[in-house]
């Protein structure tokens, strides 16, 4: 369908700073169409078209080098926060926010966010973001699946490093944090009337994070 990207919003209104890459920011602004993929009657995916209209006006933004920043006392981008995503009356938002921050710190200690961030250091296709609250929520089941299987980070054969987290204690601590994050997320979604997806009945969410090419795990 034809589309016109809204490039004049304030920067906190975008899910993340697309302008970290000048070419990516331009591709959003110049894309002619929004493509929707429907499979078996269900919305399966969506993407912007590669076809571009180079005559469209563009807005220039300079990336600060930070994926998150502060404006006053508000963390940006504000649209990624659970307080924005859920209704003000949702009693699970604070618990979910605390659970996410604890999990994010654990993932950061294992260098997971080096790859699972918008710059896509390891060239993963497709890529799941964990460094933003709203997008990590969508991956709450696959995080647990990967930690349980212990196959992330992937093996770095060129360095002789096996797949997974070396310390089982660290891995079990992360699994506990991930389980609390999932429980809080399920509760928050249930309050909003959104059914929690069960990986046992929907295999599309059960450990489907793709593994980068050989050697990419060196970043971990």
Query: Which residues constitute the domain of residue 56?
Result: 1-79
> CA-CA distance, 58 to 43, in Å (whole number)?
30
Supply the pLDDT for residue 157.
57
Q: Are residues 67 and 92 in the same domain?
A: no
Q: Are residues 211 and 110 in the same domain?
A: yes
Q: Are residues 157 and 184 in the same domain?
A: yes
Q: Are residues 61 and 7 in the same domain?
A: yes
Q: Are residues 23 and 39 in the same domain?
A: yes
Q: What is the pLDDT of residues 68-127, one digit of tens each?
A: 999 998 999 999 999 999 999 999 999 999 999 999 999 988 888 888 888 877 777 777
55: left (phi over 0), alpha (psi -120 to 50) or beta: alpha
Q: Are residues 137 and 183 in the same domain?
A: yes
Q: What is the pLDDT of residues 8-34, one digit of tens each?
A: 999 999 999 999 999 999 999 999 999
Supply the pLDDT for residue 166.
86
If one counts the domains in the chain, the total is: 2
Q: Which of 79, 95, 118 is at the close of a domain?
A: 79
Q: What is the pLDDT of residues 148-207, one digit of tens each?
A: 999 887 766 565 567 788 899 999 999 999 999 999 999 999 999 987 665 555 544 444
Q: Are residues 35 and 68 in the same domain?
A: yes
pTM for the full predicted model: 0.78
Q: Are residues 86 and 169 in the same domain?
A: yes
Q: Which of 79, 112, 128 is at the close of a domain?
A: 79
Check if the beta carbon of residue 183 is closer than 8 Å to that of residue 191: no
Q: Are residues 128 and 40 in the same domain?
A: no
Q: Are residues 58 and 143 in the same domain?
A: no
H or E element: which one contains 70?
Answer: strand 69-71
Supply the pLDDT for residue 215.
32
Write out the two tokens for 120. 């896509």
Q: Which of 51, 79, 107 is at the close of a domain?
A: 79
Supply the pLDDT for residue 63.
93
Contacts of 43 (CB under 8 A, 6+ apart): 36, 37
């Amino acid at each position: 369908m034809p589309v016109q990207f809204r490039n004049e919003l304030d920067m906190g209104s975008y899910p993340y700073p697309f302008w970290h890459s000048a070419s990516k920011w331009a591709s959003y602004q110049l894309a002619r169409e929004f493509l929707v993929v429907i499979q078996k009657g269900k919305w399966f995916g969506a993407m912007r078209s590669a076809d571009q209209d180079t005559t469209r006006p563009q807005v220039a933004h300079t990336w600060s080098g930070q994926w998150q920043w502060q404006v006053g006392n508000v963390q940006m981008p504000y649209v990624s926060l659970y307080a924005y995503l859920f209704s003000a009356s949702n009693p699970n938002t604070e618990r979910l926010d605390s659970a996410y921050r604890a999990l994010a710190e654990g993932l950061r200690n294992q260098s997971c966010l080096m790859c699972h961030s918008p710059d896509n250091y390891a060239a993963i296709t497709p890529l799941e973001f964990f460094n933003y609250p709203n997008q990590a929520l969508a991956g709450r089941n696959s995080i647990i699946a990967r930690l349980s299987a212990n196959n992330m980070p992937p093996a770095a054969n060129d360095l002789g490093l096996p797949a997974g987290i070396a310390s089982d204690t660290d891995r079990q601590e992360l699994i506990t944090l991930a389980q609390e994050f999932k429980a809080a997320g399920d509760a928050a979604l249930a309050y909003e009337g959104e059914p929690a997806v069960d990986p046992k009945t929907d295999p599309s969410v059960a450990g489907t994070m793709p593994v980068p090419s050989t050697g990419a795990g060196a970043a971990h």
